[in-house]
Amino acid sequence: MTTALRRLRNYIDGEFRDAADGRTTEVVNPATGEAYAAAPLSGAADVDAAMAAAEAAFPAWRDLIPAERQKVLLKIADRFEERAEELIAAESENCGKPVALVRSEEIPPMVDQIRFFAGAARMLEGRSAGEYMAGFTSIIRREPVGVCAQVAPWNYPMMMAVWKFAPALAAGNTVVIKPSDTTPASTVLIADIIGSVLDELGHSRGVFNVICGDRETGRLMVEHKIPAMASITGSVRAGMQVAESASKDLKRVHLELGGKAPVVVFEDTDIPKAVEDISVAGYFNAGQDCTAATRVLVHESIHDEFVAALAKAASETKTGAVDDEDVLYGPLNNANQLKQVKGFIERLPAHAKIEAGGEQVGDKGYFFAPTVVSGLKQDDEIVQHEVFGPVITVQSFSDEKQAVEWANGVEYALASSVWTKDHARAMRMSRSLDFGCVWINTHIPLVAEMPHGGFKKSGYGKDLSAYGFDDYTRIKHVMTSLDG
């Protein structure tokens, strides 16, 4: 490891620490393909220390009245705003994301989401107390689950960290969170922000801990005896491994595992408007979004016109440097992801046609051109499996029944959209589509008040909303005799 690399550290019990055995891993800026930092490659001793710190901090944090936890979260949100430029710089370097888009599309919603959960802390709900057996009163207590082991992904390192720690802390849990080994920088900065707030307000800094490392580190976290809950946003394979590991001691599990969102476009759609919105929703963040609009199903009567318009939009979509305000997206996150996206294109069947893109851009970094592929069949690999890149596929359907069958005919079930001016059709489709979210004449907007989460191999549990908050609580029945 060269001395020129910036040194990142774990954050355990209020202290920044190297890995106990001194191991590190290089962190690469995907816009350049060059290493810029060294992060701890944490092992069992580091995980033990972080879990012990979170366990020790839990009783006092759990026993705070909700208003006190709310104060902490509101202060964290304020500090995110105050240190926004630091967060933007860290995330841009982490991911190669355009600076202007991190500033406009990530900081405001993250701050809003933290403030939402600050309010949710004071809105714990349960059924009213009552007598369901003569001489006894029953009440419901909603309590935190305990220490939460959380693993965040590399596509939105900052925002996904917020989605995990904000509801967990609001509900009274303590946290050990691991960022992806390719994107630890912004999470380490978040630790500095949260730690300073906890310190200022007189709370144990062991409430929030960050462990850097790889898949083995994550496995050690999930299999550790202290956490009561494991939460991961990641691949289906990773989610299945977490569920298997957590089952050994029956930990609660919260999984958000990717998607293959169908975009069903009917013949009465406003084609220019739909193409504009769908291309943005498909290419934003280089398509590295589990809700991305990457699988278009278009009615056969407008197929050719729609494909031509979509290919034109792709050719006008720009990827490039982080300081270029005209780009829609930056690079793919890492060399392996670039290889994966290239592989899908290289393995396209003979009947597929690349209408736009299909190649790497530039001679450094992991940039890939906005791509449109048509002529595809339902059982093609690129239709059935998540590409997680700036690639939009197009299929042609004949009627509503076939559209529903093909839309639902994948193993993922996270998000979907329907494009039509027919209200009754939109309502039928929203009922028939087997996905956790159905957008109508739009695709990808999210709000803190509404849940995000899927079915099937997209996992279970909800992020955001009161439903996401409830996932970090447990329910206790208390019954008392009225005889004294």
Same domain assignment for residues 251 and 276:
no
Give the chain's domain count: 2
Provide the strand spans (E) within 104-204.
Answer: 130-133, 136-144, 147-151, 174-178
- Domain span including residue 237: 6-257+458-477
Please answer whether residues 34 and 57 qualify as being in contact, where contact means their C-beta atoms are separated by less than 8 angstroms: no
Catalytic residue among 91, 106, 256, 355: 256
Q: What is the pLDDT of residue 4?
A: 81
At 417, list the tokens: 């959209």
Same domain, 218 and 96: yes
Angle separating helix axes 66-82 and 185-200, nearest 10 degrees: 130
Helix (H/G/I), strand (E/B), else coil: 12: strand
Q: Tell me if residue 148 is catalytic.
A: no
Q: How far is CA 190 from CA 60, 199, 231, 246, in A?
A: 22, 14, 18, 27
CATH code at position 25: 3.40.605.10
Distance of CA 194 to the CA centre of its chain: 20
Q: How high is the pLDDT of residue 126? A: 74
Asked whether the whole model's pTM tops 0.85, one would answer yes
- Indicate if 282 and 344 belong to the same structural domain: yes
In a domain, 400, yes or no: yes
Query: What was the pLDDT predicted at 1?
Result: 43
Residue 353 sits in the same domain as residue 239: no
Question: Do 244 and 102 fall into the same domain?
Answer: yes
Over residues 214-244, the pLDDT tens digits come to: 999 999 999 999 999 999 999 999 999 999 9
List of the chain residues with pLDDT < 70:
1-3
207 residue type, one letter: V
Catalytic option among 55, 290, 355, 386: 290
What's the pLDDT at 2?
Answer: 45
Q: What is the pLDDT of residue 223?
A: 96
Does the active-site annotation cover 346?
A: no
Assess whether 308 and 375 both reside in one domain: yes
- 437 within some domain: yes
Dump pLDDT digits (tens) for 63-122: 999 999 999 999 999 999 999 999 999 999 999 999 999 999 999 999 999 999 999 999
Is residue 278 a part of any domain in this protein? yes
Residues 402 and 331 in one domain: yes
H or E element: which one contains 303? helix 303-315
- Quick one: pLDDT at residue 232? 97
CA dist 57 and 11 (Å) reads 14
Indicate if 340 and 227 belong to the same structural domain. no
27 and 166, same domain (yes or no):
yes
| Phi, psi values for residue 288, rounded to 5° | -90, 65
CB 369, CB 360: distance < 8 Å? yes
